[in-house]
Amino acid sequence: MHTKTIASIASGMGGGIGVIRISGDDAMTIAGKIFRKRSQIDLSSECEKEDVQSDDKFFEKTDTHTIHYGFIVDEGKVVDEVMVLVMKKPNSYTREDVIEIDSHGGPFIVKKILETVLKNGAALAEPGEFTKRAFFNGRIDLAQAEAVMKLISSENNYALDSALSQLEGNLSKYIEDIRQDILYDMGYIEAALDDPEHYDLGKFRFELRDKLERDKDKLNELVEHFDDGRMKSEGINTVIVGKPNAGKSSLMNLLLDEERAIVTNVAGTTRDILEERVKLGDVILNLVDTAGIHETDDVVENIGVNKAIEYADKCDFIIYVVDSSEKLDDADFQIIDILQQKKGVILMNKSDLNPVTTVNDIQKRLDWECITFSNETKQGMKELEDYVNNSFLDGDISFNDQVHLTGIRHKEAVMAAIESIDAVLQAIDDEMPEDFFTIDMMDAYKGLGLINGETASEDLVNKIFKEFCMGK
Ligand SMILES: Nc1nc2c(c(=O)[nH]1)N(C=O)[C@@H](CNc1ccc(C(=O)N[C@@H](CCC(=O)O)C(=O)O)cc1)CN2
Ligand SMILES: Nc1nc2c(ncn2[C@@H]2O[C@H](COP(=O)(O)OP(=O)(O)OP(=O)(O)O)[C@@H](O)[C@H]2O)c(=O)[nH]1
Ligand SMILES: [Mg+2]
């Protein structure tokens, strides 16, 4: 079958060099049509010489993995001076014939070259279409394709390392080992039911029970580390709380290093929640500034207070800002009540003023780390950074021996498989006949296949690739 040839800009816009990528059966021919060697160009007019014919077979005749210096022309006129990379199937990213044109990096030039390529027979690639082809052509599985996206969007070492591990296929292998275990045992049960004379199901159910328990432990381990991994790579959902005027918005601005939130000496300045992403050391915080929590009759402010409480309830981490230049009051006591079962840190803010509330005053009510802090003098910034980094990045995880789920889609598939395994375990305990087991075993087998894509529907696959960026 002749595959449609696609093209797209593969580089980020701007930068010194731009990359236009072409993939498909006509990639070589299209490139041949628009490529000229230096000797074919009249440099004084920036046009091809008069008697020059395009050599459509030029790249078909070259070896794979070779680089060619020359020019791209559009209707005889030079568009840019380029390098062309040739990768012949199956030795390419998509496993199809691939041409990459390295051009000068300006956005106008890059777009013009892409237009020239499209004019000569390629179709504009959809987001993720190159990687989708790598998937359909069997070079990578679905989890690995998703890892490519994770890799591109990673913002810290943790995200990068776990994406690389997934791209290498570590998650896929972990899941596939469990699937093969289940498949083997399903096969055994069916064979034994068909041919009871040669297969003994006598003690099999006890063996099966042990095996499934082990598989379940392995899957549970993935689920247990999921939140941890999500926080490290996508950011810790962090809410700044405190009573009005404590200095919450000032802290937001200080961490962001810009005047993002409105700060005034009027209590009740912040009404709505404000979300921003900041990096503190190697930790990413998805930071939320909230309205000061206290009793109020103001309708609008009250909505803000309720939102603050709601956010504080469902976040990963709280920064509780205390105005240490004032006595703790009812508002603080109300906040401390809300925070009891949560994870967070206390900033004893306004340390540049006369301290009235001490670390001791507060720690006897809330057993959290206390940092003496000032938005004015930046006292405590280093301690805050260290505390957050130590709390969330402790015990360097070795990626060689640990596998991580990096997406909610994977977590859901694993949890569903655990449920199916539980159903089998229950059936064993209930002394049900063996053919009952296979239904749930099949569910677990198929459910886990969603992760590497073995059992993923076309809709699911399309949905995943839609999230990709252009040119990938
Ligand atoms: N110029 C360029 N740089 C790039 C990419 C690319 O596509 N082009 N990549 C794109 O993301 C990344 C590298 N990933 C790649 C993965 C596989 C193959 C590939 O050709 N694989 C073939 C053949 C391998 C071989 O020749 O030994 C294969 O596995 O069948 C290429 C790049 C980052 N850098
Ligand atoms: N001296 C001193 N003043 C501070 C410090 N942090 C904040 N302030 C001042 O305290 C006042 C309130 O600061 P905000 O950051 O608006 O306080 P908030 O907690 O966001 O207040 P609401 O939004 O009303 O809940 C402003 O006048 C700030 O300049 C600090 O560390 N030292
Ligand atoms: Mg505020």
Domain-embedded: residue 237: no
The domain of 165 spans 146-225+405-466
Contact criterion met (CB below 8 Å) for 122 and 26: yes
How many Å lie between the centroid of ligand 3 and the Cα of residue 367? 25
36 pLDDT more than 90: yes
In this structure, the residue with its CA closest to atom 32 of ligand 2 is 350
* CATH number, domain with residue 115: 3.30.1360.120
In this structure, the residue with its CA closest to atom 13 of ligand 2 is 247
| Closest atom of ligand 2 to CA, residue 246 | 19
Region of residue 405 (phi > 0: left; psi between -120 and 50: alpha; otherwise: beta): beta
> Which tens digits make up the pLDDT trace of 290-318?
999 999 989 998 999 999 999 999 999 99
Query: φ and ψ at 275, to 5 degrees?
Result: -115, 135
**Ligand-binding site membership of 137 (annotated):** no
Contact criterion met (CB below 8 Å) for 163 and 154: yes
Asked whether residue 389 falls in the same domain as residue 411, the answer is no
> Which tens digits make up the pLDDT trace of 76-116?
999 999 999 999 999 999 999 999 999 999 999 999 999 99
Query: Cα separation of 7 and 111, whole Å?
Result: 11
Q: How confident is the model at residue 232 (pLDDT cuts 50, 70, 90)?
A: confident
Q: Which residue has the higher pLDDT, 362 or 401?
A: 362
Residue 14: predicted pLDDT: 76
Contact criterion met (CB below 8 Å) for 425 and 213: yes
Asked whether residue 416 falls in the same domain as residue 446, the answer is yes
Asked whether residue 50 falls in the same domain as residue 181, the answer is no
Residue 87: predicted pLDDT: 98
394 pLDDT more than 70: no
> Which tens digits make up the pLDDT trace of 427-468?
999 999 998 999 999 999 999 999 999 999 999 999 999 888
CA distances from 422 to 208, 220, 268, 415, 444 (A): 12, 12, 51, 11, 10
Q: Which of 65, 93, 125 is the last residue of a domain?
A: 125
Average of pLDDT values for 24-35?
A: 98
Residue 401: predicted pLDDT: 54
Is the CB of residue 246 below 6 angstroms from any atom belonging to ligand 2? yes
How many Å lie between the centroid of ligand 1 and the Cα of residue 92? 6
Average of pLDDT values for 246-252?
A: 97
Q: Which of 335, 362, 394 is the last residue of a domain?
A: 394
202 pLDDT more than 90: no
Asked whether residue 273 falls in the same domain as residue 220, the answer is no
Asked whether residue 257 falls in the same domain as residue 326, the answer is yes
Domain-embedded: residue 290: yes
Residue 233: predicted pLDDT: 86
226 pLDDT more than 50: yes
* CATH number, domain with residue 411: 1.20.120.430
How many Å lie between the centroid of ligand 3 and the Cα of residue 95? 54
Asked whether residue 324 falls in the same domain as residue 347, the answer is yes
**Ligand-binding site membership of 269 (annotated):** yes
Domain-embedded: residue 114: yes
Asked whether residue 218 falls in the same domain as residue 102, the answer is no
395 pLDDT more than 70: no
CA distances from 290 to 169, 296, 335, 378, 444 (A): 41, 15, 13, 21, 43
Query: Cα separation of 276 and 279, whole Å?
Result: 10
Tally the domains of the chain: 3
397 pLDDT more than 50: no
Average of pLDDT values for 121-131?
A: 96
Percent of the chain exceeding pLDDT 90 equals 85
Least confident of 19-33, 90-104, 153-167, 245-259: 153-167
Q: Which residue has the higher pLDDT, 227 or 275?
A: 275
To the nearest whole number, what is the mean pLDDT of the chain?
93
Least confident of 152-161, 203-212, 240-249, 256-265: 152-161
Is the CB of residue 324 below 6 angstroms from any atom belonging to ligand 2? no
Percent of the chain exceeding pLDDT 70 equals 98
Domain-embedded: residue 354: yes
400 pLDDT more than 70: no
Asked whether residue 202 falls in the same domain as residue 264, the answer is no
Smallest CA-to-CA distance from 289 within 279, 277, 303, 280 is with 277
Domain-embedded: residue 365: yes
Residue 404: predicted pLDDT: 84
Asked whether residue 317 falls in the same domain as residue 452, the answer is no
Q: Which of 96, 125, 154 is the last residue of a domain?
A: 125
Asked whether residue 272 falls in the same domain as residue 316, the answer is yes
How many Å lie between the centroid of ligand 3 and the Cα of residue 42? 66
Domain-embedded: residue 236: no
Asked whether residue 193 falls in the same domain as residue 249, the answer is no
- Tell me: ipTM over 0.95: no
392 pLDDT more than 90: no
Average of pLDDT values for 274-287?
A: 94
Q: How confident is the model at residue 156 (pLDDT cuts 50, 70, 90)?
A: confident
Domain-embedded: residue 131: no
Domain-embedded: residue 291: yes
Average of pLDDT values for 271-282?
A: 93
Asked whether residue 360 falls in the same domain as residue 273, the answer is yes
In this structure, the residue with its CA closest to atom 14 of ligand 2 is 247
Half-sphere exposure of 412 (CA within 13 A, CB side): 4
Q: How confident is the model at residue 199 (pLDDT cuts 50, 70, 90)?
A: confident
